[in-house]
Structure 1
Amino acid sequence: MARWLENYAKSTILSSIKLWNNLDTHSLQVCIFCSVGIDAPRRFGVLGEELPSARVISNELHKADGQSPRNDKLTMMVMQWGQFIDHEFVSTPVMKDTMGANIDCCDEGNENRTECFPIRIPDDDPFYNRTCMSMVRSAPVLDHDCEPGFREQMNQVTSYIDASAIYGSTEDQSISLRAFEGGLLKIYEDNETNSEQLPPDTNDKYTIEAPKDRCALAGDKRVNVVPALGWSHTCFMREHNRIAQELVGINADWDDETIFQQTRRINGQQNYREHICVKYDIIFHYCSIFGDGVRNLLFKDKNGISLDLPSLNIQRGRDHGIPGYNHWRKHCNLGQANMSYDGSFILPDHTEEQRLKIQNIYSHVDDIDLFPGAMTESLLPDSSVGPIFACLLGKQLKKLREGDRYWHETQDPIIKFTNDQLTELRKVSFARVLCDNFDVSQVQPDVFHVPGIGNERVDCDQIQGINLEKWVSCDFLPDGRPHFNSYCRKKRNRE
């Protein structure tokens, strides 16, 4: 059994690192649209003029003047799940100063540092009274032959949707989260709320406002960025421990390692299957307009300095050399943006109001950045995104599924689930997970949509869950894997 457990542990934690993950290599994005040579960010448009400030674009296209035009039938769970899934397979580190210190690109003399790509704030900005927003460039990485080339960025988490946000992207991270007893994850017993919370992170770099405050430890370090992320991580920590405790009762002969690895497989797949495969069209729901919290006050520090999320998204795209909006229109076989003889923009999937706003910002349609160009498109029917994001999200999620050799529907005889187990995994919904892990008595079956006709709130006992009896094993295969088959269950029933 030990040989299989060792191999399985390495595969579940490190498999994507060695072959597909970007931890030791680089991302697939090549900086083909860098402005100068192979390293500089995208700074200039097709006419040679400097691209408009990302903050100017944000002010014109992404400010919240009223109610969002996006889908009002979706719950906040869509946003939160989208953020959690994003953290599952993307984390791009930025460059650091000597000894790992952070760089402020707005400090005197820093704007022209190679690590810096600050955002220019206009003098007439409606919120900020400064002219610079700091942004440090993403850390570059050498190519497969350890040689310099076109600037590319690294990914410091596994590049799969594999529950690495829960269990970590490295073996050391996974070890730090485990209790090594009964297959459980570590917890913090909160006596004030009489609940199980994430274990505390003892990293002394955090700023704690009150002595009793604590930061949480999870598989992804961004767990502490906003309270809702902490909630998401807490949810799946509790779900892991719930499953592990039930498996202990079903298979008393399993040791800690077997319980942990089998629980990890179940916890990682039972939820991601529903919300990635079936509902990919709404998972990455965004709003085209942003309130002050993210557009003016993002990550406000003790000195009152804050950031603007849309501006950062635009500037980061330029840093990475991401081609402009029109490039992706062609990539997705959509009608390209064009210009009339008098210079007017022709944007096939934008309203006249948005067309004029974009035309007043950019000098040429080929200069339009992907983020604002796609975010301001008219929405597709019954969707929260326009044509470009529908295309790119669909392509990306398809690749995430087809490129993952541990995808739960794999037919690989060594790692596949049995047909009975797959049937059980397909029953699970996020609603059931909420019922099992929080003080919830009623919930709508589809938690991503507001309650209504056909999605009325029901008692939790009416929402089906997973039957872990399908994971009964009466023996082990020669390589140490638990042997799951119907004979085992029948044998257990007779006993």
Structure 2
Amino acid sequence: VHEVTRKIIHASNEAVTEDNLYSDIIMVWGQYIDHDIAFTPQSTSRTTFLNGMECQMTCEKQNPCFPIKVTTNDTLLAGMDCLPFYRSSPACGTGDHGILFGNLSMLNPRQQINGLTSFLDASTVYGSTPATENKLRNLTSEEGLLRVNVKYYDNHREYLPFTDQIPSPCAQDSNASEGERIECFMAGGENTRLARALKNITGHWSAETVYQEARKIVGALHQIITLRDYIPKIIGPDAFNLYIGLYTGYDPTMNPTVSNIFSTAAFRFGHATIQPIVRRLNAQYLDDPELPNLHLHEVFFSPWRLIKEGGLDPLLRGLLAHSAKLQVQDQLLNEELTEKLFVLSNNGSLDLASLNLQRGRDHGLPGYNDWREFCGLPKLETHTDLNTVITNHNVTEKIMELYHNPSNIDVWLGGLVEDFLPGARTGPLFACIIGKQMKALRDGDRFWWENDNVFTEAQKYELKKHSLSRVICDNTGISEVPADAFQLGKFPQDFKHCDNIPGMDLEAWQEFYQEEEICGTPKSVENGDFIYCSEFGKSTVTYSCQYGFQLQGEEQLTCTSKGWNFEAPICIDINECENEINPPCSPSAKCINTKGSYKCLHTDPYKLAEDGRTCIGNACEPTV
């Protein structure tokens, strides 16, 4: 695969064609959404299972090592016979692991794990597991807020907490790029803004209710921006209508799982749109001599630049005012990605293109023609056939020289070099795969923002007003933005002041009780809360409990001609100390249940987090 990178994919940093339609932030949004819906964990072992050799030191293909062969005439990697590569962790019971369940057959191939929720649900901000979510929340806040960094601020705006392992300001994703951290912070800031505003207009809501409703709104904004503003630009209007179409409601037969072909190949098209330069601009959208441009490798795993070098705003202006890199057939991945990837955090550099190709082979993805047939596209049999979908014949000659037959082409490469569809930034194969996946994510999600009873009609109307540009206005110090953040424009003529960027009115979340109803005001519950909804002549109240309590009784009550159809539930204390699967305290500590919480009594030295309860350090880390 490294030979494919060298001869077909690699381009110099200077060989960049600018996209004349879209700004650099469209690339960032794609990466951000990818990290919301898919993460394939690698094997945790760094040595071969058979004889314990380190994968960094051997070129033998023994699990989990799957090294990438390097050609002898590669001067950049002189003295190296291979690049290290670790296989993705197999799903339990698949492939060779099927023997554990008596299912070792060709019909049970090795499959991989998605470490995240497949849904578009802002898991980048809130986590994908209850344990992660609890670490990200400020459980003592009366406003339902997330935890924030108490040491560093961005021009008086709050950062999310840094991770302990790598000082990354994106609390959930330590692998985030600079651009993704911006999106992550804006989403976290939007949660804070919404939570405080919701608490202000619905004073009786508990912190738990405020948090959950703010989270639901942020998730809805992710869905709206992605399906309305982002995906049509990527796959084009024709493919959008063909593969996604209008929303007709939740489909319980639709499988929303993120497919292997989507995460391992199709959505990695975005790697060919990454600029080699990170630009930082001042308030007038001009180059700032104090904040010079940086090569991409200079910001890998360097979040300190956010704190020490101007914060988020200069980076965000650079993304808004400069174009994305156009995915050109003979200018695919620049040298920042093929020669200098992760150079600040590893002993040597890596090659993203080779990693992508090898990952597809690791996952056993069928070849290019197999996926074209899957999408109902013509199978390409000859060099002449290949020329019909790739107009740069120099590229097709190089491909055929290495692969000999179109059916042998790795699907990531084949999809990457196809001619764009009209109004798109992908060819027909990737447009098909991305479109099918987005339809599955939308129609297979019972909590999709447009589905019945997720939001009221008034709330949906307000949500549709919102945009990424409005989120930028509300959560940064930037006052002038494009109406569509993804659309490339010139400053100042194509930018608008934030006063002229529409946004949602949260008064749609205000609760107004129907005085004339026989049911009257809903009954409040101790250590709990309710949300009242009256629409189309039907009134309902949905109860929830504060953190540390669980509901006993009916969650939702409906007003009938005889009053509420059920008695109000109660909230009872959860005894966290009885949780044997995920004990809240370390084995050496004694767990004591308290009302709505618990205490860990420990003799070893330890440190408490900002909430006064969560332990920090090895002495009192919860066992999992």
The alpha carbon displacement at 1:397 in A equals: 0.7
Query: Is 1:282–1:384's contact at 8 Å kept on the other side of the alignment?
Result: yes
- When structure 1 is superposed on structure 2, of 473-482 and 147-156 the one drifting more is 473-482
1:491 corresponds in structure 2 to: none
Identity of aligned residues (%): 31
Query: Is 2:194–2:214's contact at 8 Å kept on the other side of the alignment?
Result: yes
Q: Deviations over 1:215-268 (max 9, x none)?
A: 335233433xx2222222111111100000101110111110000000000111
2:477 match: secondary structure: coil
The alpha carbon displacement at 1:104 in A equals: 5.0
Query: Using the alignment, how far apart are the partners of 2:154 and 2:182 within structure 1?
Result: 17
Query: Using the alignment, how far apart are the partners of 2:153 and 2:358 within structure 1?
Result: 45
Query: Using the alignment, how far apart are the partners of 1:192 and 1:402 within structure 2?
Result: 38
The alpha carbon displacement at 1:103 in A equals: 8.5
2:367 corresponds in structure 1 to: 324
Where do 5+ consecutive residues of structure 1 fail to align? 1-53, 207-213, 489-495
Equivalent position amino acid for 2:87 in 1: R
The alpha carbon displacement at 1:100 in A equals: 13
93, 99, 111: which one pairs with 2:60? Answer: 111
The alpha carbon displacement at 1:337 in A equals: 1.1
Query: Is 1:105–1:136's contact at 8 Å kept on the other side of the alignment?
Result: yes
Count of residue pairs the alignment pairs up: 417
- When structure 1 is superposed on structure 2, of 78-87 and 61-70 the one drifting more is 61-70
Distance 1:403 1:191, change over 3 A: closer
The alpha carbon displacement at 1:72 in A equals: 2.8
1:431 corresponds in structure 2 to: 469
2:186 is equivalent to residue 137 of structure 1: no
Q: Deviations over 1:413-460 (max 9, x none)?
A: 4xx110000001111000000000000111011110111599820110
The alpha carbon displacement at 1:150 in A equals: 1.4
For residues 346-365 of structure 1, what are the structure 2 equivalents within 5 Å?
346-351=386-391, 352-365=393-406
2:3 match: secondary structure: helix
Query: Is 1:328–1:388's contact at 8 Å kept on the other side of the alignment?
Result: yes
2:227 corresponds in structure 1 to: 276
The alpha carbon displacement at 1:302 in A equals: 5.6
Distance 1:68 1:99, change over 3 A: closer
Query: Using the alignment, how far apart are the partners of 1:133 and 1:433 within structure 2?
Result: 41
2:531 is equivalent to residue 482 of structure 1: yes
Query: Is 1:163–1:268's contact at 8 Å kept on the other side of the alignment?
Result: yes
2:11 match: secondary structure: coil
53, 64, 76: which one pairs with 2:24? Answer: 76
Query: Using the alignment, how far apart are the partners of 1:473 and 1:308 within structure 2?
Result: 55
Query: Using the alignment, how far apart are the partners of 1:104 and 1:78 within structure 2?
Result: 39
153, 173, 195: which one pairs with 1:244? Answer: 195
The alpha carbon displacement at 1:405 in A equals: 1.2
The alpha carbon displacement at 1:309 in A equals: 0.8
Equivalent position amino acid for 1:202 in 2: D
119, 122, 133: which one pairs with 2:71? Answer: 122
1:151 corresponds in structure 2 to: 110
For residues 325-404 of structure 1, what are the structure 2 equivalents within 5 Å?
325-339=368-382, 346-351=386-391, 352-404=393-445
The alpha carbon displacement at 1:153 in A equals: 0.4
Q: Deviations over 1:323-373 (max 9, x none)?
A: 111111111111211127xxx764430122221111111122211000111
Looking at both structures, which has the greater relative contact order when contacts are Cα pairs under 8 Å and sequence separation is at least 6? 1
Distance 1:477 1:318, change over 3 A: farther
1:194 corresponds in structure 2 to: 156
Distance 1:100 1:432, change over 3 A: farther
1:22 corresponds in structure 2 to: none
Where do 5+ consecutive residues of structure 2 fail to align? 235-266, 273-326, 514-520, 538-624
Distance 1:116 1:303, change over 3 A: closer
Larger Rg: 2
219, 238, 242: which one pairs with 2:172? Answer: 219
Query: Using the alignment, how far apart are the partners of 2:186 and 2:42 within structure 1?
Result: 29
Query: Is 2:153–2:159's contact at 8 Å kept on the other side of the alignment?
Result: no
1:484 match: secondary structure: strand
Distance 1:158 1:382, change over 3 A: same
Query: Using the alignment, how far apart are the partners of 1:99 and 1:195 within structure 2?
Result: 44
Query: Using the alignment, how far apart are the partners of 1:439 and 1:453 within structure 2?
Result: 17
1:338 match: secondary structure: coil
- When structure 1 is superposed on structure 2, of 125-134 and 386-395 the one drifting more is 125-134
The alpha carbon displacement at 1:86 in A equals: 0.3
Query: Using the alignment, how far apart are the partners of 1:301 and 1:456 within structure 2?
Result: 37
Query: Using the alignment, how far apart are the partners of 2:369 and 2:359 within structure 1?
Result: 18
53, 57, 62: which one pairs with 2:9? Answer: 62
TM-score, normalised to structure 1, is 0.78
Q: Deviations over 1:455-495 (max 9, x none)?
A: 8201101011111111112568689641133799xxxxxxx
Query: Using the alignment, how far apart are the partners of 2:387 and 2:498 within structure 1?
Result: 48
Equivalent position amino acid for 2:3 in 1: V
TM-score, normalised to structure 2, is 0.62
Question: Superposition RMSD on alpha carbons, in Å?
Answer: 2.9
Q: Deviations over 1:11-64 (max 9, x none)?
A: xxxxxxxxxxxxxxxxxxxxxxxxxxxxxxxxxxxxxxxxxxx11111122122
Query: Using the alignment, how far apart are the partners of 2:154 and 2:120 within structure 1?
Result: 34
Query: Using the alignment, how far apart are the partners of 2:504 and 2:137 within structure 1?
Result: 23
Q: Deviations over 1:76-114 (max 9, x none)?
A: 111100000000111101112289999952413x62322
Query: Using the alignment, how far apart are the partners of 1:103 and 1:441 within structure 2?
Result: 56
Query: Using the alignment, how far apart are the partners of 2:423 and 2:493 within structure 1?
Result: 17
Greater strand share, structure number: 2
Q: Deviations over 1:176-218 (max 9, x none)?
A: 1111211101112425743311112223xx3xxxxxxx33352
443, 448, 463: which one pairs with 1:407? Answer: 448
Query: Is 2:146–2:188's contact at 8 Å kept on the other side of the alignment?
Result: yes
